Chains A and B, each alone.
Chain A
Amino acid sequence: MTDIERLPYDVVVIGAGGSGLRAAIEAREAGLRTAVISKSLFGKAHTVMAEGGCAAAMGNANPHDNWQVHFRDTMRGGKFLNNWRMAELHAKEAPDRVWELEAWGAVFDRTPDGKISQRNFGGHEYPRLAHVGDRTGLEMIRTLQQKVVALQQEDARQHGDPEARIKVFAETTVTRLVKDGERIAGAFGYIRENGRFVLFEAPAVILATGGIGKTFAVSSNSWEYTGDGHALALLAGAKLLNMEFVQFHPTHMVWPLSVRGLLVTESVRGDGGVLRNSEGKRFMFGYVPDVFRAQYAETEEEADRWYTDPDHNRRPPELLPRDEVARSINAEVKAGRGSPRGGVFLDIASRRPAEEILRRLPSMYHQFKELADVDITKEPMEVGPAQHYVMGGVEVDPDSAASSVPGLFAAGEVSGGMHGSNRLGGNSLSDLLVFGRRAGMGAVAYLDSLDEAGGRPAATDAALAAAQAEAIAPLERAGGENPYTVHSEVQQTMSDLVGIIRRESEIKTAIAELEKLRERAVQVSAEGGAAYNPGWHLALDLRNIMLIAACVAHAALERQESRGGHTRDDFPGMSPEWRKVNLIVALDGDRVVLRRQPMKPMRGDLLALFDRGELAKYLTEEELPPAGEEKS
C-alpha cells in the first residue's frame, strides 16, 4: 500500500451543495469536527444551477398559504407515493430555513412591503417560491458558503485556526465508504490535484452527493451528477427506493445541439409564458388529466385572468406538474406538431413587455442571446424535455435522515421518498435545507449515542487496501477501452430505452445492453498520470454510472403502471395497488436485487387534509377514511 493520509473527524459530509453545506453547518454548530468533501471547487456544486426558487409557505404573497396547503400540493405532485412524514416535515420547516438564510446574508427579491417575494410555479397552489431573479441556487450556495466562512472566522478568533472545526476539501472525490462490521468507519477517496489517496476517519458520514443526470444523454445536470452517493450507499449495504422515478423536466433548449438539455426555467411559465405547437395552438388545454381537472382552467381567458386574480380563476394548464407537461410536449412532437428543431414553442415575447422579461428572467435572456442568437423578448423559444432530477434515492428515516447502515445519513437529491413519483419545482432547494439540517442533527445524536456506548469504529487495513487497488486499477491497466466511449454508450442506451416513455421490450433490451457495457466498463484504462486526470476520474465514475443505470432499468421494468416520472406505454394507467408499494433496490454481491415494500399508511390527521373524493382517485377502497369522517 502506498501512503494513505488519514484525517480524523467526527462527521464527514460528502457533498458541498445546498444539503451538504446545511448539514455541515448544523454539525459544526453542535461543536463537532466536521469535514466537507466536494468534487468541484467550494461554491460551485450543482446547486449553483438552480434557477426558479425555493418553495416555502411563508404566505408573503398570498396570506392563505400555510404548511397544510404546501403539504397537499407536494403529495399531489408526487401522486401520493411520497413519504408523507418527509413531506410534512418539509412543509412545516421550510419557512424557517429560508428565513435563516436571510439572517445569514441572503438577499432575496422583495415584496412591496419589504418581505421576501414569492413566485408562482407548477403544482403550487399559491405563489410560494422565494427567489432571486432566476439565479436562486447561486444565492443559496453563496450564502451557505459564506456562513461556513463566518464559522471559520469564529474559530480563527477562538482557536487561532479557521479550520479547527470545519474544513472544506474541494476537488476531492470519495470512491468507497469503509465500515467496521456493520457500522460506518469513514470514507476513502483521492485528491484531484495530485491523485493522492486519503481516508477520512469518522463514525458518521452524510451523503449529500446530488443526482444521476450523467446516466442519460440529454440532461440538464452538471458534470458532477454521476450517481456517486447512490452507488456508495448501495455498496455499503444501504437501500435505495423509487429509482424508477426520474424527472424529465419539460422545457430545455433543443438547439444548438451543443446546449441541448440546458434548462429553461419553469419561471418562464410561472411569469406568463405559454406553450404552443407548430399550429400556434396552446395545446396544454387538451392534456389536463382527470385528477387535476378541478384545479386547472379550461379556457385561455380564464387561464389569463388567473395571473392577476388567482382567487377567482383556475390555473393555466402550462403550470401542471412537470411530468404532465413533459409527456404532453412529447406527444405533440410525436404527432408531428413540433417546432422545426424537434421541440415546441415557449412564448413569453408576445405576452409580457420586454422590460418585464429582462427584469424577471435575466439569465434566460442572456442564455438564449449568447448561445442561440434568440432574443426572447421578441421571438418564442424552442424547448423540449430532458432528464432533470431523480426522485429515487437512499431510503432514510424521515426525522433523522439515517439510512439502514449505522452511521450513514443522506440528504438532498441523493435521498429518496420526499418527492414520491414526481418532484414539484422549488421543492428541492427547500428539501436541501430542511433535511440537510436534519441529517446534521441526526449525525450529532448518533455520535452522542456512540460516546455513551464507548468506542468508535475503525477501518480495517484489508478494506483500505481493496479500496486503493480498485481506485488505481484504470491507471495501471494498459490497452483497455477508452472510458469516454463506454460512458457515451451507456447514456445513449438509457436515453433511448429507459427515457421518458418506457415499454417492457425496450427496458429488457436496455438491461441486456447494460450487462455487456458493464463488462467493458471494468476493462477501461486511463492514459496519463494520477494528477488532475479527467480520463481516470471518468473511469472511476463509470462504476457508479453503470450501477445506477441498472437500478433505474430494473425498477422501471418491475413497476407495471404509469405514475409521475415513470411512464409505461404498455401500462398507461395509475394503479391504486401499485401506489401502496415502494420498490427497494439493494445489492447482492454485484447484482441488483429488487424487493416490494408496502408503504406505511398516512396518519389520519394528514389524510383529513384531503377530500375523500380526491383521495379516491389515488387510494384503494380499504385505505380511504370511513365516509362519515370526511373533511367538511
Chain B
Amino acid sequence: MGEKVTLKIWRGDAGQGELTDYRVEVNEGEVILDVLHRLQATQAGDLAVRWNCKAGKCGSCSMEINGRPRLACMTRMSTFDPAETITLTPMRTFPVIRDLVTDVSFNYAKAREIPSFTPDPSVKLGEFRMQQIDVNRSQEFRKCIECFLCQDTCHVIRDHPENERAFAGPRFLMRIAELEMHPADTADRREIAQDDFGLGYCNITKCCTEVCPESIKITDNALIPMKERVAGRKYDPLVWLGAKIGRRPRHDTPAVPGGKKS
C-alpha cells in the first residue's frame, strides 16, 4: 500500500464553506479521482464529486486543482511532489452546489441560443457528400467533451458575472465556428457571433486553449478565424451588394429568443 498525501478540499454549499484537511493513501498510477473515491469510501461518505466515465471522455469531473482548471480523472498523483499539499476547489466561475460540484446550467442556456445546424432541406438521407479535408476543422471542435474548463478559465466571465449575458464563452463561440465551417450548413451566424454572443470581448489570451483537456486549439483555430470572418462580413461591400440583389440573406439567422429560459 502506498504513501499518504495531504489534501485540502473545499467543503460546503452555496451558502458557505471552507477548506478541510484530509490525509489519504495513494497507490501507484492513481489519479486525483481515485483518491477522492478512497476518501468517500473511508472518511467522507457524503463528499460531493461529479464524475461518470473516469476516462477523460465525459467531461464531468472538472474542478480546480491547486487553482488550475483540470479533470480529476486525468490528473495523475505522480505529477505532484509527495510532500506537497494538494488543494481541490470547485470551478470558480460557476455557482457551487455542494463541495466540488458546481451549477453549470449557464452553459446549457447558451447552447440553446445558438441557431442549430441548418442543412439544405432538399438533400435526401444518405446523400450528403463531404470530403475529409473539409470536415477536419469541424471534427476538431466536435472533440469537445463539454467539461467547461475553458469557460471556467476565461477572464471575461471568471470574475465578471455581469458579462455572462453578453458573452457565450469560448466553448460556445467555438460551437458557432464549428457550424460556420460545416460544409453542409447553410445558415450565417457571423453577425450574431459578434452582437449576441460577444466574440468581441475575446482578446485572444489563449487561456482557454491552455486548459482544454482535448487539446483543441480553441483560440487559433476557432476564435481568431471567426473574428476574421466577422470582420470580412462587416466590411465586405459585396455582402452588402449581395443583400441588395437578394442573393444573400440580409441578416443572420437570429439567435433563438426563448433560449434563455431554463
Contacts and interface: CB of A to CB of B under 8 A. Distances in A.
B256 A258 contact: no
B186 interface: no
Interface stretch (B130-138, B159-167, B194-202, B226-234): B130-138
Given A150-B116, A150-B117, A485-B41, A534 B55 contact: no
A222 B53 contact: yes
Interface in B32-76: 34, 40-42, 45-60, 74, 76
A451 B115 CA distance: 36
Contact of B29 (A103, A105, A224, A259): A259
A138 B141 CA distance: 12
Nearest to B34: A258
Please classify the interface of chain B as helix (H, G, I), strand (E, B), loop, or mixed, using the class held by over half of its residues: loop
B146 A43 contact: yes
A534 B49 contact: yes
Interface in A55-110: 58, 95-96, 99-100, 102-105, 107, 109-110
A105 B97 CA distance: 33
Query: In the complex, which range does the number of interface residues on chain A fall in?
Result: 35 or more
B129 A156 contact: no
Nearest to A484: B41
B143 interface: yes
B207 interface: no
Interface residues of B, number: 64
A616 interface: no
A378 interface: no
Given A103-B123, A223-B52, A44 B142 contact: no
Contact of A103 (B34, B48, B128, B261): B128
A153 B112 contact: yes
A104 B58 contact: no
A107 B142 contact: yes
A384 B89 CA distance: 36
B130 A114 contact: yes
Contacts of A366: 56
B82 interface: no
B237 interface: no
A1 interface: no
Contacts of A466: none
Contacts of B51: 223
A48 B51 CA distance: 13
Given A40-B60, A103-B119, A534-B48, A482 B129 contact: no
Contacts of B29: 255-259, 371-372
10 contacts: A48-B52, A102-B125, A103-B128, A222-B58, A223-B51, A371-B76, A482-B41, A526-B45, A532-B48, A534-B40
Interface of B: 13, 27-31, 34, 40-42, 45-60, 74, 76, 97-99, 101, 103-104, 108, 111-112, 115-117, 119, 123, 125-126, 128-132, 135, 138-139, 142-146, 179, 182, 256-259, 261
Given A105-B182, A222-B55, A372-B29, 12 more contacts: A110-B135, A138-B145, A142-B144, A153-B116, A157-B256, A160-B257, A162-B258, A193-B97, A222-B52, A370-B74, A484-B41, A534-B48
